[in-house]
Amino acid sequence: MKQEIIEKIKSSIEEYFIKEDISPSIREISTMIDVPKSTVQRYVTYMENEGLITKTERGIETKKTIKSDSNTVRVPRVGSIPCGPLNEEEEYIEEYIKLPRVITGEGEFYLLTASGNSMIDAGIDDGDLVLIKLQNHAKYGDIVVALADGKNTLKRYMPNEEKRVIILHPENKEMEDIVVKDIVIQGVATKIIKSI
């Protein structure tokens, strides 16, 4: 087996993975390195037997792609969330964004685009990406994605057990609290990602 072809196959897998976030097929490797498919297949089998590559549910991977994948997490970016009065917003996945696991930590996450200026004193501006940890509970003072009366908003969670109400507090001195009897918590804000 030629070392040159082995190196070409490895680097083509890594380059493709960086661009597409998946591994290439045998046909795609064949096209990229201009070697017949049957030859690529033979080399891939040899490389797997030698421990140079691994076949996973994501396809053919090298040590480099496996390591890069374990250090990152794919987070769906869904529509926008109003930072203002309660608004109806359709949630749908617009794209997936890879984030380092050191930023997210453990758990399930999604990204929302902030819309409006009710959270500016908490450092959340219109257009910022807000990293939300998917959970249905929160502590007093957490910034939450709250669903109330079929509408959602991003606010500071301040339940008042005495009055049996939940205050959704905007972080903007010019705005008033939203007081509701009941909400569904759809997640807790953990990080803000700003455009420069």
Q: How big is the CA angle at 88 (ends 82 and 93), to the nearest 5 degrees?
A: 75
- Please, is 119 exposed, middle or buried when counting C-beta atoms within 10 Å of its C-beta (0-12, 13-18, 19+)? buried
- As beta bridge partners, residue 75 has 97
Catalytic residue among 8, 115, 118, 133: 118
Q: Measure the CA–CA gap between 108 and 137, rounded to whole angstroms.
A: 14
- Please, is 68 exposed, middle or buried when counting C-beta atoms within 10 Å of its C-beta (0-12, 13-18, 19+)? middle
* Spatial CA neighbour of 44 closest among 32, 33, 52, 36: 52
Catalytic residue among 155, 163, 173, 194: 155
Instruction: Tell me whether residue 19 is one of the annotated catalytic residues.
Output: no
* Spatial CA neighbour of 13 closest among 64, 74, 79, 83: 64
Instruction: Tell me whether residue 37 is one of the annotated catalytic residues.
Output: no
- Strand 143-148 and strand 151-160: the pairing is antiparallel
Q: Is the dihedral of CA 168, 170, 174, 175 positive or negative?
A: negative
Catalytic (active-site) positions: 118, 155
